Amino acid sequence: MTITERFLKYVSFDTQSSEETGTTPSTKKQMVFAEVLRDELISEGLQDVELDSLGYIYATLPSNTSKSIPTIGFISHLDTSPDASGTNVKPQITYNYNGKDITLSADKVLSPKQFPELLDHIGEDIITTDGTTLLGADDKSGIAAIVEAMVYLQKHPEIEHGPIRIAFNPDEEIGMGAHHFNVEKFGCKFAYTIDGSECGEIEFENFNAAAAIITVTGRSVHPGSAKDKMINAGRIATEIVQMLPQSEIPETTEGYEGFYHLTSISGNCTEANLSFIIRDHSTGKFQERKRVITRIVETINQRYGNGTATLTLTDQYYNMRKQVEPQMYIIDIACQAIKEAGMLPKIKAIRGGTDGAQLSFMGLPCPNIFAGGINFHGPYEFLPIQSLERVKQTIINICKITAQYEWQHK
């Protein structure tokens, strides 16, 4: 089986997660894929293969050397995003891409005019959707590359490596991927999530994240006699949105710039509900953003009466940089591996979160490495086959470089 065949097999499984069920895994179809993957790992010769009742798969490739080398790990997630359908994915392959539009369906075209990153892949073979679903490279390209790398290392015992652990988890797309991950059982000195985008990317910084839910309670009175009586919850909700800094939203920010993002708003005169996510790489700025939204709620209550607005503010995850930075050799190894695979390392900050961030705070330093796919979570997603091969080679190189590293001082 080639790596492309393996990837195409994996995306044939619908593994969308769901925020609605409250179960782990959040959808039964993730477990269907997990069972197939477990059996495949066993047939490919991996050891200690285990699928637990929550949909987490663990497996081992034993060391092939007598040297004392720390156990390292590679992790990808089983689920695909709820943002677009993952049912009946029909991949298409455009061989030797010529830099022009790729027709996905009668009404959808993947064009370099809208997606100029396509032009970086002229001459390559590009897997796309048929325009009706997402592709699932997020994160089945990561899974395919990890499995294929383990198969390759077994076929090439001349490549010295230490003990390697791999894991595949459910529910990353709904922020629950690390919640039931057994770090102690995994038993690694450090690991990498294979869940990024373009070739060469490595990320060990992510947003600090919080969720803010505001409920506005109004007073409904007939509009004909509402003067000095009505409190219109829906209108106050829009007032709250306007009180936030209008230049600090996802549409106007990039790089290390944080934001407030209104994810939903609903209501009427009697009650309104707003949901926000708050993001910033800087811990200090993150705390200030939470204070800003708290002060806005206090101002609303001063204007319209105590209890008009209530705020539930919940931290979601934190920037893993402070967990990884004291052990920068983890990044050095990955950068060298990327170079040896023929690419330039691109260290960047994630404008989002990652299972690795949560795992880093659980005691497993875990930066993120590219998986090769582009335009995740929608019908314009695509994956160059050559990028998938580069992911596999980077994983192999990490294993090789780790075996060559001077560990006595670490």
Residues annotated catalytic, as ranges: 79, 172
End-to-end CA distance of the chain: 38
Pairing of strands 382-384, 201-205: unpaired
Closest CA to 365 of 206, 189, 208, 194: 189
Are 206 and 354 within 8 A, CB to CB? yes
Angle between helical axes of 137-155 and 3-11 (0-180°, round to 10): 140
d(CA 375, CA 347): 19
Secondary structure (3-state) at 267: strand
Q: Which two tokens stand for residue 275?
A: 């949901």
Helix (H) or strand (E) holding 197, with range, is none
Pairing of strands 271-280, 259-267: antiparallel
Pairing of strands 368-370, 201-205: antiparallel
The Cβ of residue 261 has, within 10 Å, a number of other Cβ atoms equal to: 16
Q: Which two tokens stand for residue 178?
A: 């690390």
Phi, psi dihedral angles at 52 (to 5 degrees): -85, 175
As separate numbers, helices (DSSP H) first and strands (DSSP E) second, the chain gives 10, 17
SS3 for 141-179 is HHHHHHHHHHHHHHHCCCCCCCCEEEEEECCHHHCCCCC
The partner residues of 346 in beta bridges, in order of sequence, read 201
- Put residue 334 in one of left, alpha, beta given phi > 0 → left and psi -120 to 50 → alpha: alpha
d(CA 396, CA 399): 5
Q: Which two tokens stand for residue 277?
A: 């996510």
The partner residues of 266 in beta bridges, in order of sequence, read 273
